[in-house]
Amino acid sequence: MRIEVAGRSHVGMKRNHNEDAFLVLADEQLYCVADGMGGHASGEIASRIAIEELEDFYRRTSKDADLTWPFKMDRALNYEENRLATGIKLANARIFEAAGTDLSYRGMGTTIVSLHFADDGVYVGHVGDSRAYCLRDGQLRQITEDHSLLNDYLKAKKLTAEEIDAFPHKNVIVRALGMKDTVQVDVERVDVTDGDLFLLCSDGLSGMVHDDALGEAVKASGDLEATCEKLIELANEAGGNDNITCILLRYSTD
């Protein structure tokens, strides 16, 4: 198994600081994007805590298989699913705790999307509206489901196509790290085949660039570094209303 990876983050065109964070932890085959929120510097703090806690948990569990986990194993999930979900839940607890001990951090939170390559496939865990996509056979597919008010309305079929475009609360998320002392984490295992290309991104990219344009950009990806730059350029050309972060990962059996 060989993983080629590139990651980039940009403040965008409208913000004066970057509240996104991303992680490339190649020795554990763990990759994450977090999109902080909360105003001032607190969103940046929340996304950084999420990344650091998840990295620390994976490093500790890799070195000590008998390490006691902070949450009970879910018997409906396998080991890798539990490991990813537990790491994200631990990040949530740390953010919630920090927000409760410092008034300047009150209300801070972050989305997170994480991808971990294992022997039996790739595991994707997420909370919020940061997304994971997979490009296979020329088709880009969104793996994650947004935890957003807009998506709730779409699932309930309460919006017409015209109303979707004009929906005034597109940025409202209904689940994030730090909102409560506990969090529900969505985890999915995806079969992986030679040549699969994965994209992790904050909504500063997916909210500004339509999936069709994302697909065209990543289909042309020979150089992943250049493609990350192209994706950020597309988001900024569309207005750059938010911070923009993306990670591209190409899987091969070589």
Spatial CA neighbour of 121 closest among 194, 195, 192, 25: 192
CB count within 10 Å of CB 101 equals 8
Over residues 182-207, the mean pLDDT reads 97
Q: Is the dihedral of CA 129, 180, 241, 153 positive or negative?
A: positive
Cα 102 to its chain centre, rounded Å, is 26
Q: Please, which pLDDT band fits residue 163 given cuts at 50, 70 and 90?
A: low
Residue 167 clears pLDDT 80, i.e. is over it: no
Worst-scoring range by mean pLDDT, 67-71, 156-160, 177-181, 231-235?
156-160
Domain range for 186 is 2-252
Residue pLDDT, tens place only, 223-241: 999 999 999 999 999 999 9
Question: In whole angstroms, what is the distance from residue 203 CA to residue 40 CA?
Answer: 19
Q: Please, which pLDDT band fits residue 165 given cuts at 50, 70 and 90?
A: low
Spatial CA neighbour of 70 closest among 81, 80, 57, 55: 57
Contact 132, 126 (CB under 8 A): yes
Give the chain's mean pLDDT. Answer: 92
Number of domains present in the structure of the chain: 1
Question: In whole angstroms, what is the distance from residue 211 CA to residue 194 CA?
Answer: 23
Over residues 84-109, the mean pLDDT reads 94
Q: What is the pLDDT of residue 221?
A: 75
Q: What is the CATH number of the domain that holds 127?
A: 3.60.40.10
Residue 220 clears pLDDT 70, i.e. is over it: yes
Contact 57, 142 (CB under 8 A): no
This prediction's pTM: 0.94
Q: What is the pLDDT of residue 160?
A: 65
Q: What is the pLDDT of residue 247?
A: 98
Burial of 170 (C-beta count, 10 Å sphere; 0-12/13-18/19+)? middle
Q: Please, which pLDDT band fits residue 21 given cuts at 50, 70 and 90?
A: very high
Write the Ramachandran bin of 133: left for phi over 0, alpha for psi from -120 to 50, otherwise beta: beta
Residue 48 clears pLDDT 80, i.e. is over it: yes
Tokens standing for 85? 């979900």
